[in-house]
């Protein structure tokens, strides 16, 4: 069977009823007596628990939604690469669709769904480019293929066919043979500084725990429980 083809026997229907997809969430709870004052601390605790005890393949995969230049929100997955006191850092092409959207409107929303732990975290915040040295440091430790790939791809631009990209990669491999690959100026980090963080823990009978932290004007976090 050719690579990339998935074999489905019989006729493929254009409709599907998913009303029988149902799961009960009963693994954990999120109660007020467990809450810390700073949501970053809770995020880190949850992240470390997911890493240590649950079989999530890419716990750092997160959805980032932006408001596009066309007025539509758009979600896509990126990889969280650093958590600091100031925020959440990921790397991308600054000229991509998301890069342009953030330039025009820095308000973004991140979300994580850790299915094995039955947890969701939603983070509203503002995105800004990281300092160049943070992008340099991360670019340096990427595998060489990923470094060259970042140079080869004008992310989000139309490309005529796959061969164009593969040729570009071959040219770049030759150009930088025996040399370090330089980070292109248009590739780097964004840091998302949170203003609101919501923690969702699945519970029985759809009575899930939802705790929302909101940042006040004097930089205090207030927390409230939301109805599921």
Ligand X SMILES: Cc1cc2nc3c(=O)[nH]c(=O)nc-3n(C[C@H](O)[C@H](O)[C@H](O)COP(=O)(O)O)c2cc1C
Catalytic residues: 206
Residue owning tokens 């490309």: 159
Q: Which is nearer to ligand X, 62 or 117 (CB)?
A: 62
Residue 190 sits in the site that holds ligand X (CB under 6 A): no
- Among positions 35, 36, 61, 152, the unique one binding ligand X when judged by CB under 6 A: 61
Token pair 């026997």 is at which residue?
Answer: 9
Size of the site for ligand X (CB under 6 A): 15
Is residue 147 part of the contact set for ligand X (CB under 6 A)?
Answer: no
Residue (66 or 201) nearer to ligand X, CB: 66
CA 77, CA 205: separation in Å to the nearest integer?
Answer: 30
Nearest distance from C-beta of residue 100 to ligand X, angstroms: 8
- Tracing tokens 């980070």 back to the chain, one arrives at 183
C-beta separation of 206 from 112 below 8 A: no
Q: Work out the number of other CB atoms within 10 angstroms of the CB of residue 175.
A: 11
Smallest gap from Cβ 91 to ligand X, in A, equals: 6
Check residue 78 for interaction with ligand X (CB under 6 A).
yes
Q: Give the residue, chosen from 50, 56, 88, 96, that forms a contact with ligand X under the rule CB under 6 A.
A: 96
Closer to ligand X by CB, 78 or 195: give it. 78
Among 155, 168, 193, 223, binds ligand X (CB under 6 A): 155
Taking CB under 6 A as the binding criterion, the range among 10-18, 43-51, 86-94, 218-226 that sits at the site for ligand X is 86-94
Select from 92-100, 107-115, 122-130, 220-228 the region that touches ligand X (CB under 6 A): 92-100
| Binding of ligand X by 142 (CB under 6 A) | no
> Taking the CA of residue 223 as centre, how many other CA atoms within 13 Å lie in the half-sphere pointing to its CB?
18
Q: Cβ of 91: how many Cβ atoms within 10 Å?
A: 22
Sequential DSSP letters for 119-157: EEEEEEEEEEEPPHHHHHHHHHHS-HHHHHHHHH--TTS
What backbone phi and psi angles, to 5 degrees, belong to 79?
A: -105, 125
Token code pair at residue 107: 């308000």
226 lies in the binding site for ligand X (CB under 6 A): no
Distance in angstroms (rounded) separating the CA atoms of residues 66 and 102? 7
Chain residues in the site for ligand X (CB under 6 A): 58, 61, 74, 76-79, 90-92, 96-98, 155-156
């Amino acid at each position: 069977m050719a690579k990339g083809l998935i074999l489905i026997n019989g006729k493929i229907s254009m409709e599907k009823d998913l009303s029988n997809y149902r799961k009960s969430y009963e693994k954990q709870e999120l109660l007020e007596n467990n809450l810390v004052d700073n949501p970053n601390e809770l995020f880190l605790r949850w992240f470390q628990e997911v890493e240590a005890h649950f079989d999530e393949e890419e716990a750092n995969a997160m959805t980032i939604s932006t408001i596009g230049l066309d007025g539509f929100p758009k979600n896509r997955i990126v990889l969280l690469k650093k958590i600091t006191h100031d925020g959440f850092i990921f790397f991308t092409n600054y000229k991509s669709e998301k890069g342009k959207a953030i330039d025009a409107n820095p308000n973004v929303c991140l979300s994580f769904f850790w299915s094995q732990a039955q947890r969701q975290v939603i983070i509203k915040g503002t995105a800004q480019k990281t300092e160049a040295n943070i992008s340099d440091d991360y670019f340096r430790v990427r595998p060489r293929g990923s470094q060259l790939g970042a140079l080869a791809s004008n992310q989000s631009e139309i490309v005529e066919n796959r061969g164009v990209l593969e040729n570009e990669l071959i040219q770049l491999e030759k150009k930088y043979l025996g040399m370090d690959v330089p980070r292109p100026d248009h590739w780097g980090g964004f840091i998302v500084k949170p203003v609101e963080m919501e923690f969702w823990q699945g519970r029985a009978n759809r009575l899930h725990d939802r705790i929302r932290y909101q940042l006040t004007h004097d930089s205090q976090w207030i927390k409230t429980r939301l109805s599921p």
